[in-house]
């Protein structure tokens, strides 16, 4: 591992134990704790220290320590009784304390308002208990090093499904939960046939009919507004249940990649595909040997693990599921000259994952001959082929371990080829993708440019991608180069789904991935994506539309330094210093609303123009005497600049509501606390497509506080199917 201030801060904050100083020390501790002999210990150590394979964070943290809890994924049942509910909460707290994340399906809890015979009272429903679980999680750190992560699931046929879908409508609510709706094929068939008026169920208490369309619209609107809820496909999950004789599966771990029975746990590990590319080709021999080593590594973890409660040990050892996955996928594709969104790129990914899974199955078969099959083997899908593990492959989020490995995370495309990262001590580092930089240097060398011109052009490209996150608008760059080096938002959301489907075809469990959509995406796009995911056989889907949450670190932009302050490399090349942002091109024509309002000192015309239903620019003009037309014009320009560069309009609304002016206080006819507050109210009303008689009747919609990293206080980024957040500055993760 190449030491860097970023990696060093991650190791210190998360993984180094007493007496350890380097990553090599961690690898020695883990390998020694898990290996059966010196040969195996050397193989484990070599795979980790070369960053070809890394296990999940709990294993890196706890192997060889007194704590000894090595699994990342757990599911716990939540029965319909006070005793059972709080037993689940207690077990979840124990899991979080030891470094794991928990998934719960709350569908067994009776709906809100149901009679409770033992107390002659009424039930408060699953959502109320989720808030209690959320509060408990808030005070428990995973392994003493990070906050706990939860998945909350409700079946689409539960009477409280609509309140559940709306449970995270305000950003910041249930912050320790990802939430997902478990839908079945019967529901999706009605949706695909557009039979929205069909009554899905009649509410058992009110007797009111609940239609397919009402539930579906709530799901789609929630996803469009803030990426919640995710959707899980019940029948697809159970069509691939490796042990159907043990029951049906209705719960997953926090990021959705591991469908599990109650009390099951799973240990995860990921192979860095970029480290398996040698001399312009995938070294299949190295990859296969790494897979075999990883299967033995993860299977051993099951036996060496210190389980938090006895029921988890029993359920885990009954099926012995392991979750071997990949990271560095986009890096590997770039090294091979394959575009992420191309048929050739997907074909390579499918072939590679097929090789990984096939090799994992063969090694599990060998292990069965040495150590025996998993106890639930009889009656499983493997009944004619002895294996040691009921399931072997999955695609997990690799938020922190991919930072350690210096590769792209999971199967996600790279967000930007240059960006700024800050560590826990506040230092700033410019991170550039080495594959992109080397390819850019080669491409410019092939052009008819002088040495100084090449350096100037290279600085121009790096500065541009650092600021905008894309090179697609640099038309002077070769078309082939631009087609290869696409970032997450350059890639169509349909191609995001196609890539997930490509991997899912060759993965036993499921996949943690975020389907990125541009801010301009519509609710129709979200609806189409859900139907596409279901039709392609995905087991679940998470969608994030850019700008729909405030807490997205790479959508923010720092002020540019003056040329004199801009640092330069030894060869004169400029190192860009701005965080990537996504600016919006204004169409020639926009529609919006104009409000005539009264502030403390003047009357105002406030025009708010919309793009795809979202405020994109604001014009403010004073009417008659009073007020300062220049200041109000400047205020409108400042708001417009912010909106067009990714600042959520809610942030302006909330901040302006705090601005008080003595003129407004004295003037009872003022429709706000200040001119800024009046403008903020107009922006919010326009966004909600609402008219109002007087702005004094307006009430601010609480959207929750910005989600910040608990260690370095930078805004969290959301990806890989995770609502808990990953800090791209210091490496903190609430999910992995």
Residues annotated catalytic, as ranges: 253, 255, 257
689: exposed, middle or buried (Cβ count in 10 Å: 0-12, 13-18, 19+) = exposed
Which residues are CB-contacts of 639 (< 8 A; sequence separation ≥ 6)? 617, 618, 652, 679, 683
Strands (E), 96-215: 101-105, 115-116, 121-122, 141-142, 146-147, 150-155, 177-183, 199-202, 209-211
8 Å CB contact between 421 and 429: yes
Find out whether 396 and 512 touch, Cβ atoms under 8 Å.
yes
CA distance 146 to 244: 35
Structure tokens given for 281: 């080709």
What residues contact residue 476 under an 8 Å CB cut-off, 6+ apart? Answer: none
* Cβ proximity of 513 and 411 under 8 Å: yes
Q: What angle do CA 475, 477, 480 make, to 5 degrees?
A: 105
Contact in structure between 264 and 319 (CB atoms under 8 Å): yes
DSSP code of 14? I
Peptide bond connecting 640 to the previous residue in cis, omega within 30 degrees of 0: no
CB 1 within 8 A of CB 49: yes
The C-alpha atoms of residue 661 and residue 604 are separated, in whole angstroms, by 15
Tokens of 126: 């699953």
The first and second tokens of residue 112, run together, are 């809100």
The residues pairing with 208 across neighbouring beta strands, listed in sequence order, are: none
């Amino acid at each position: 591992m190449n030491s860097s201030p970023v990696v060093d801060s991650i190791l210190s904050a998360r993984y180094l134990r007493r007496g350890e100083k380097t990553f090599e020390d961690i690898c020695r501790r883990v390998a020694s704790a898990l290996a059966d002999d010196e040969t195996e210990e050397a193989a484990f150590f070599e795979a980790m220290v070369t960053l070809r394979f890394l296990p999940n964070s709990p294993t890196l943290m706890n192997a060889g320590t007194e704590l000894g809890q090595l699994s990342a994924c757990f599911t716990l049942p939540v029965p319909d009784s006070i005793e059972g509910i709080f037993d689940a909460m207690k077990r979840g707290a124990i899991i979080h304390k030891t470094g794991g994340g928990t998934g719960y399906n709350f569908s067994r809890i009776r709906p809100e308002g149901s009679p409770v015979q033992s107390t002659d009272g009424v039930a408060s429903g699953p959502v109320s208990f989720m808030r209690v679980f959320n509060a408990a999680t808030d005070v428990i750190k995973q392994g003493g090093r990070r906050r706990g992560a939860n998945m909350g699931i409700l079946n689409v046929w539960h009477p409280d499904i609509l309140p559940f879908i709306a449970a995270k409508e305000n950003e910041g609510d249930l912050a320790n939960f990802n939430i997902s709706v478990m839908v079945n094929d019967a529901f999706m068939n009605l949706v695909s046939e557009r039979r929205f008026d069909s009554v899905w169920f009649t509410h058992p208490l009110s007797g009111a009919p609940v239609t397919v369309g009402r539930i579906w619209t709530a799901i789609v609107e929630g996803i469009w507004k803030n990426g919640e809820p995710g959707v899980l496909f019940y029948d697809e999950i159970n069509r691939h249940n490796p042990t159907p004789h043990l029951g049906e599966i209705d719960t997953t771990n926090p990021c959705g990649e591991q469908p599990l029975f109650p009390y099951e746990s799973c240990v995860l590990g990921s192979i860095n595909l970029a480290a398996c590319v040698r001399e312009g080709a995938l070294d299949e021999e190295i990859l296969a040997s790494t897979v075999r080593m990883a299967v033995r590594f993860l299977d051993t973890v099951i036996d060496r693990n210190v389980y938090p409660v006895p029921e988890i040990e029993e359920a885990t050892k009954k099926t012995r599921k392991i979750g071997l996955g990949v990271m560095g996928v986009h890096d590997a594709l770039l090294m091979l000259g394959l575009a992420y969104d191309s048929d050739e790129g997907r074909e390579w990914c499918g072939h590679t994952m097929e090789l990984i899974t096939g090799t994992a199955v063969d090694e599990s078969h060998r292990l069965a001959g040495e150590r025996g099959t998993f106890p639930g083997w009889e009656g499983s899908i493997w009944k004619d082929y002895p294996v040691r593990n009921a399931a072997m492959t999955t695609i997990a989020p690799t938020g922190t371990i991919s930072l350690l490995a210096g590769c792209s995370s999971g199967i996600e495309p790279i967000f930007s080829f240059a960006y700024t990262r800050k560590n826990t001590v506040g230092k700033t580092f410019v991170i550039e993708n080495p594959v992109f930089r080397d390819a850019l240097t080669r491409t410019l060398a092939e052009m008819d440019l002088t040495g100084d011109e090449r350096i100037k052009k290279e600085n121009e490209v790096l500065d541009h991608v650092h600021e905008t996150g894309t090179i697609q608008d640099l038309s002077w760059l070769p078309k082939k180069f631009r087609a290869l080096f696409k970032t997450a938002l350059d890639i169509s959301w349909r191609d995001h789904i196609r890539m997930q489907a490509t991997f899912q075809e060759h993965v036993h469990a499921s996949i943690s991935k975020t389907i990125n959509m541009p801010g301009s995406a519509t609710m129709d796009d979200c609806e189409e994506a859900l139907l596409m995911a279901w039709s392609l056989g995905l087991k679940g889907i998470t969608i994030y539309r850019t700008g729909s949450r405030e807490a997205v670190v790479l959508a923010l932009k720092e002020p540019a330094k003056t040329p004199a302050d801009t640092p330069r490399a030894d060869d004169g090349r400029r190192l860009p210093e701005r965080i990537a942002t996504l600016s919006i091109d204004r169409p020639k024509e926009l529609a919006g609303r104009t409000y005539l309002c009264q502030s403390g000192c003047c009357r105002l015309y406030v025009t708010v123009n919309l793009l795809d239903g979202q405020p994109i620019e604001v014009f403010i003009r004073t009417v008659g005497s009073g007020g300062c037309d220049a200041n109000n014009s400047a205020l409108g320009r400042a708001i417009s600049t912010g909106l067009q560069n990714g600042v959520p309009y809610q942030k302006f609304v909330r901040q302006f509501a705090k601005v008080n002016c003595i003129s407004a206080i004295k003037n009872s006819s003022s429709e706000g606390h200040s001119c800024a507050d009046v403008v903020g109210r107009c922006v919010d009303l326009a966004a909600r497509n609402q008219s109002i008689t007087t702005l004094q009747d307006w009430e601010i919609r609480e959207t929750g506080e910005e989600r910040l990293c608990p260690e370095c206080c930078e805004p969290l980024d959301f990806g890989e199917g995770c609502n808990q957040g990953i800090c791209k500055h210091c490496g903190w993760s609430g999910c992995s």
